[in-house]
Every structure is written in C-alpha cells, then in structure tokens.
Structure 1
C-alpha cells in the first residue's frame, strides 16, 4: 500500500481551478486513464476519490468503467483501515440509467427483459462519503456481452447526487473506452509511469482525446514502480 494523501491533495488543488461543474453546483466527473497498462491508473483514481471524499460535502463516487475486469470494489474492500467498513449493497443508478448495455438481454421469470441497471451496484465507505461501483459480471449469462453507451444520461443523473465522480478507465492499449467516455466528462487526467509505455503512444492518446471533444486537464507522473517505496507524484497542467 502506498499512501498518496499528500500527492492527491496537490492534485485536487490543481484540478479544482476553473471547474465549470463546481461553479454550477453539480458534481464534476473526472476520467483517469493511461495509454498503456500497468501505469497505476486504478490506484490513482482510488486514492483521488478517497481524498476528495474527505473534504466533500456530498458523496464522491468511484466508478469502475472497465467492462472486462472489475477490480476497484475488491481493492477498496482489502483496505478497511483506510476506507472503513463497507455499507450494504445498493443500486448504483439513481434513475435506472447506466453507462453500458448488455446484449442479449436476460429475461426474468415472467419473460420480461432484466434492466441493465440490475447489474450495476455500489457499496458505501467512509461513512457514506465515498461510493464504489461494480458491475455484477458474475450474473451474466453465457454469451452476454457489455458495451459502453456513447451517449448516456447516467452521468448527468449521478451528478445531481455527487460532489465528484471519479471514473477509472481501462488503458487505451486494450480498450477504446476513453474515447467514448471523454466527451461525457468534465475533464480527463492522463496517468503516465516511469519506465512504462511509449512517449508516442501517450502523445497519440492526448491527440485522440482532444479530437473526440474531451478536455485534458493535466497529466500525473507516477515515478514509482510496484515494488518501490512511496513515490513522488506531480501534476503537469495540459
């Protein structure tokens, strides 16, 4: 475990300036992503959500948008001393909308399609100041697949209940989810790690994010490796 409280406080201060979402009173949605895998995106998103929740007046939501590999809820559950005991499982959709679609649809005992929102749950931590989502992929039927909605009302619905929405996206080298999600967010944070990935891949991702209408707020440089002691992290404004 690496304690990034100080670094995340600096990141919060750097990202807070000029936020239109904050000025309007609605929750701000931030997307964390990397060009290549193993750059620490999930850790950065989780730590940012934890620190944001410590100061937020309304709940902070950590949304795991990786449709193939859901890991955030399990990671938080493994650190009860930092995130506290989990609350009960609840629906993660305030109005029945979700950011993905399942195909083919499952049918209930009456033969009616099961709503996709049935598969999206969340658990509260830190005295309900932080909520972490999970897609109940263990309930999927053989052959069922999930795809992201490029235009979803989910993010707008969740904004009315959240101070901030922190979205953990899969690395661009294995999924184009960032290009579908970036235009729906208030900003994108690009995570890069020492010794991982290629400079050209990072520049290409920055360009593609901007081309689809995403707003790149900055870059977080992860100077640590998985086996290294606590790392120094710094923010570069885009």
Structure 2
C-alpha cells in the first residue's frame, strides 16, 4: 500500500486546518472511476483522527458495496479494529432515503436511519459508516437526498466529517450534496493526462453551490507530483 502520510499532512495544511471544536465537512470525489478517491478519503480521515487528534467521521456514499468499511476491516493493523455497529444518525435524519419504504408490523415504515450503521475504528476518534444493503427487500433502492438535516446534525457530534463520494460518471451524489460541504477536493490519478473531465466536474459543482478547494493528484510513482494545485483552468 502506498504511504500517503506526508501528502495528508500537506493536504491538511493546504485546506486550512479548522479551529479545534469547529466542525468541518470535506467531500472527496473524482470525475471518473478508478482515480483512487476512496483511498485518499480514507487516509485523510485517518490523519485527521490520529495525527490531528480530531473526532472524525468517514461517511461512505457508495451505498452499493460500502468500500470504506470493507477496506478498513481488511487492514486492522493499519486502521485499528472495527467496533460493533451503532446508530449513524444523532437525531434520526439521514442523507438518503430508501424507496419504496418497508412497512413495519405496527403500521409504520422502517426509518431510513436503520439502514446504515456507524463503526468505531481503533478507538473513539474515528468512525466509518456502512450501508446495510442486505436489509433491502425487493425493488427497494437508496437515493441520496439534497437536504441539510443530516449534515447539520452530525456537525454537532464530529469535528471533521470526510465524505467519500462515488465518481461523477457513476453517480450524481456529489452534486446533490455539494452545497452542504465546506470544501470539495477533486481526486485525479497522477497518470491522467486529460484534465477536461475534472474541469467539467469543477464547473458542475460550482453551479450546484459547491466550493472546490483544488485537485489532489493521487500518486502513482515513487516521486509523487504536487498534490494540491489551483483549480484547473
């Protein structure tokens, strides 16, 4: 595995480390699949919780496979042991909705918050979410919501919220929640020569009310390029 500790320290400083006790939400997204966004988001969350000592939540918006939970579970020596599942919403709000809703025996419907769990990672400072896809029934599907309720609620319980978003060529999630993020970092493979897709995504995020912090060039060689540059022209 590539060690990104140095790059994460530089990224932390370049984004402008938030004041202690002040919640900050950072979204990571790429224009295309395969750029390494999940790795970058996970390492940034690890840095924020361990090196910076902030209460950090890693929110995985990939509701198909929950890759963050899977990756952390596979590397306990690096990230720490996963704790048992707990409620991922402080007040019952959620960043997605499951449709059609599942009825309950009491006549109500199964709340959206019940479909996701939060797991501590090696202690109380880092948490990661896992969508319970196995709980879906029949034609049920989860849809990302544009509302602010969940993000506002979580800000009261975490200092750093890292959002790992599916690539823009596979999902509209990044645009749906863009306005509620303090910053968005575009992840691009260091070997990628075509900057047009990230540029188009930057423009789309801005139109959706997002704030792009810059581009992280994910290292693919021994000597990585500059990790965070000005917004692409």
Common fold by TM > 0.5: yes
8 Å Cα contact 1:83-1:125 kept in structure 2: yes
Q: Out of 92, 95, 99, which is 2:95 matched to?
A: 99
Give, in whole Å, the separation in 2 of the partners of 1:232 and 1:87. 36
Determine if the alignment matches structure 1 residue 234 to structure 2 residue 223: no
CA offset at residue 213 of structure 1? 1.1
- Residues 37, 104 of structure 1: alpha-carbon distance in 2 compared, 3 angstrom cutoff: same
Q: Per-residue CA shift, 1:14-65, capped at 9, x if unaligned?
A: 1125xxxx35943100000000110000000000000000144542000001
SS at match of 1:132: strand
SS at match of 2:227: strand
Residue 5 of structure 1 corresponds to 5
CA offset at residue 232 of structure 1? 5.5
- Residues 223, 57 of structure 1: alpha-carbon distance in 2 compared, 3 angstrom cutoff: closer
Give, in whole Å, the separation in 2 of the partners of 1:185 and 1:160. 15
Residue 176 of structure 1 corresponds to 172
Q: Out of 191, 195, 202, which is 2:187 matched to?
A: 191
Q: Per-residue CA shift, 1:132-180, capped at 9, x if unaligned?
A: 0011011101100111111130001101111100000000111111111
1:73-222 map, 5 Å:
73-196=69-192, 198-222=194-218
Gaps of 5+ in 1: none
- Residues 230, 105 of structure 1: alpha-carbon distance in 2 compared, 3 angstrom cutoff: farther
Give, in whole Å, the separation in 2 of the partners of 1:232 and 1:67. 32
Gaps of 5+ in 2: none
